[in-house]
């Protein structure tokens, strides 16, 4: 059951929760958590059950966190520790609860925190070390890592249970700067993990630390935190500058210093109020096969040589909750966690750093493509063509592995409606004029069997460049009137998607408004009389009326 140590009001406070179980209580109070008390097999049922809310057609605001209180495994073993999935970012609203602020304020909160860090404060004792498991206790046949309710993320493909909701803490041996990243860790033995840190450009800060330890021929200390204040967990996926202390950024998000304590077997500071901490040393030379594992780029990551971690201690609260995140094919929890912070960061980069006026929004395409490959930049009317192209280049170059395809669209196009985007490509982009391809791009995050090597970048200006006739849908007032009747008749629930009504795109004459008004009031014959008086000879059918002078 949830630890009552930090029992507080979950509805009256607006500051971020500084304890993961407090966060769960807030989610439950707001109706954002499903508590599952029936027996669930962590190896074959747990992740697939949660996955259905992403694959089953639910809207994002219908997704929930899950708390499993009766966890078993494939051998029939029952675990006393509950497992939470979706509790960090099954939806933007759940992420916002962890941030203690509305969704629309999240971007500014990140920018302010990065610019105004608050250093952590040391604690003399900490809940995360209520229970300490080390030495022989780690090597018991059913002890150590095997005693933890670690789910299998992609049953049928994954080689073992994986730690997924990780905050991996390492330290630069030269500068002493701490890094916190989210890296997967495969169970190998009761006291050993296989850890994968991205080695590509723009990849893992922890990998850069490991390279320095390898040169020194020294094992790299690491502490893997599973479950702590969401503002701390959220720093892991954000790819902050390598010299930035994420724990201090988390303090700024929290509005107060994060309490930390020294690990029991490694010289690293960890969040004092964490649920679990797995401490250990990563071999500086020897790598071991790791995987397969269902990855966020939508493919199974095949077996590859990755880091070998010798576990030296596992510490946890007396009544902890295990945390797992849903990754694999997007949308997923991991993609939501990135999207809600990345999109406002990209917008700020274009609007504030590059000073491009008229950029309305940056949207990352989430389903299947995993955010990184496809970006949409939305512009207000009248933005000069030169500024549109500067924005497209700027969005593609901010991060090495984000922005393979960058598409500029106008304000009337909803980037989440791909049909509208394709319509814009079909009628507003001329490939020979509005497409630019640049070579020498990092392949980024993707399956290793795709051939590797370099990729390229495609920029597309699909914005409206000239006045066009209106969208051929009924005007807004008529669609709204029909929607009211729809609800009155108790017809199936619908979700309007832009464009759902007609609107002007600049090429229109007020006289046609008169014709349209007559049409809906039964006076169309008057229009027929007027048009009869304007008959002309010597013209080709389909000659525009506006091109013929009176």
Kindly tell me if the per-residue pLDDT of 381 is higher than 80.
yes
| Beta strands at 359-364 and 65-68: parallel, antiparallel or unpaired | unpaired
> Could you tell me what percentage of the chain is helix, strand and coil, using 3-state DSSP and rounding each to the nearest 5?
30, 25, 45
Residues 221 and 187 in one domain: yes
Residues 365 and 298 in one domain: no
Do the domain assignments include residue 288?
Answer: yes
Do the domain assignments include residue 121?
Answer: yes
Q: Which of 375, 384, 383 is nearest to 346 (CA)?
A: 375
Tell which of 426, 461, 496 closes a domain: 461
Do the domain assignments include residue 466?
Answer: no
Residues 51 and 106 in one domain: yes
Residues 82 and 37 in one domain: yes
| Radius of gyration of the chain, Cα coordinates, nearest whole angstrom | 28
The secondary structure element, H or E, covering residue 265 is none
Residues 276 and 395 in one domain: no
Residues 239 and 376 in one domain: no
Segment 102-150, tens digit of pLDDT: 999 999 999 999 999 999 999 988 999 999 999 999 999 999 999 999 9
Do the domain assignments include residue 25?
Answer: yes
Domain total for the chain? 3
* pTM, two decimal places: 0.87
Residue 422 near residue 429, CB atoms below 8 Å: no
CA atoms within 13 A on the CB side of 288: 14
Helix (H, G, I), strand (E, B) or coil at 362: strand
Residues 178 and 212 in one domain: yes
Do the domain assignments include residue 452?
Answer: yes
Angle between helices 92-99 and 20-29 (to 10 degrees): 130
Kindly tell me if the per-residue pLDDT of 6 is higher than 60.
no
Q: Which of 189, 15, 205, 202 is nearest to 109 (CA)?
A: 15
Kindly tell me if the per-residue pLDDT of 449 is higher than 80.
no
Q: What is the mean pLDDT of residues 326-354?
A: 90
Residues 115 and 221 in one domain: yes
Share of the chain above pLDDT 70, in %: 95
Angle between helices 106-115 and 333-348 (to 10 degrees): 70
Residues 214 and 295 in one domain: yes
CATH number of 452's domain:
3.40.1670.10
Do the domain assignments include residue 296?
Answer: yes
Q: How many residues does the chain have?
A: 550
Residues 118 and 174 in one domain: yes
Q: How far apart are CA 267 and CA 221, in angstroms?
A: 7
Segment 157-180, tens digit of pLDDT: 999 999 999 999 999 999 999 999
The secondary structure element, H or E, covering residue 145 is none
Residue 341 near residue 106, CB atoms below 8 Å: yes
pLDDT at residue 4, as a whole number: 39
First to last CA, the chain: 83
Do the domain assignments include residue 544?
Answer: no
Residues 120 and 253 in one domain: yes
Residues 162 and 233 in one domain: yes
Do the domain assignments include residue 316?
Answer: yes
Kindly tell me if the per-residue pLDDT of 19 is higher than 70.
yes
């Amino acid at each position: 059951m949830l630890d009552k140590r930090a029992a507080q009001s979950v509805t009256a406070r607006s500051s971020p929760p500084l304890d993961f179980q407090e966060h769960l209580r807030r989610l439950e109070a707001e109706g954002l958590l499903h508590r599952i008390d029936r027996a669930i097999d962590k190896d074959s049922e747990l992740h697939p059950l949660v996955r259905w809310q992403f694959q089953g057609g639910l809207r994002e605001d219908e997704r929930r966190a899950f708390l499993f209180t009766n966890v078993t495994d494939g051998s029939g073993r029952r675990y006393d520790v509950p497992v939470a999935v979706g509790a960090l970012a099954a939806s933007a609203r759940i992420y916002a609860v962890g941030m203690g602020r509305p969704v629309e304020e999240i971007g500014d909160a990140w920018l302010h925190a990065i610019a105004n860090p608050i250093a952590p404060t040391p604690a003399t004792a900490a809940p995360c070390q209520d229970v300490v498991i080390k030495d022989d206790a780690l090597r018991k046949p059913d002890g150590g890592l095997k005693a933890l309710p670690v789910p299998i993320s992609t049953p049928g493909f994954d080689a073992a249970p994986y730690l997924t909701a990780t905050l991996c803490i390492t330290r630069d041996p030269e500068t002493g700067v701490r890094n916190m990243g989210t890296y997967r860790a495969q169970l190998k033995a009761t006291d050993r993990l296989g850890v994968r840190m991205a080695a590509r450009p723009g990849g893992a800060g922890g990998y850069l630390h490991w390279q320095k330890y390898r040169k020194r021929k020294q094992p790299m200390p690491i502490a893997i935190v599973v479950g702590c204040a969401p503002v701390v967990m959220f720093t892991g996926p954000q790819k902050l500058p390598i010299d930035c202390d994420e724990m201090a950024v988390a303090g700024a998000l929290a509005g107060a210093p994060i309490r930390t304590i020294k690990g029991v077997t490694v010289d690293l500071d960890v969040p004092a109020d964490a649920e679990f901490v797995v401490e250990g040393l990563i071999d500086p030379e020897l790598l071991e096969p790791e995987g397969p594992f269902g990855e966020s780029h939508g493919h199974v990551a095949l077996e590859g040589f990755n880091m070998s971690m010798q576990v030296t201690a596992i510490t946890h609260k007396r009544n902890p909750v295990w945390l797992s995140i849903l990754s694999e094919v997007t949308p997923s929890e991991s993609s939501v966690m990135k999207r809600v912070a990345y999109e406002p960061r990209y917008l700020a980069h274009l609007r504030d750093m590059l000073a491009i006026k008229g950029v309305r929004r940056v949207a990352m395409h989430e389903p299947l493509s995993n955010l990184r490959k496809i970006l949409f930049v939305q512009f207000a009317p009248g933005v000069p063509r030169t500024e549109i192209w500067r924005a497209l280049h700027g969005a593609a170059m901010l991060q090495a592995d984000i922005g393979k395809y960058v598409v500029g669209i106008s304000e009337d196009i909803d980037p989440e409606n791909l049909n509208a985007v394709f319509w814009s490509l079909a009628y507003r982009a001329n490939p020979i004029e509005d497409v630019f391809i640049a070579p020498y791009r990092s392949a980024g995050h993707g399956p290793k069997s795709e051939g590797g090597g370099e990729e390229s970048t495609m920029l597309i200006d699909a914005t409206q460049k000239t006045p066009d006739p209106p969208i051929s849908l009924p005007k807004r007032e008529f669609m709204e009137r029909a929607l009211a009747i729809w609800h009155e008749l108790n017809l199936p629930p619908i979700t309007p998607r832009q464009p759902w009504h007609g609107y002007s795109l600049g090429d229109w004459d007020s006289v046609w408004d008169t014709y349209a008004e007559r049409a809906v009031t039964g006076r169309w014959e008057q229009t027929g009389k007027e048009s009869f008086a304007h008959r002309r000879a010597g013209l080709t059918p389909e000659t525009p009326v506006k091109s013929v002078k009176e």
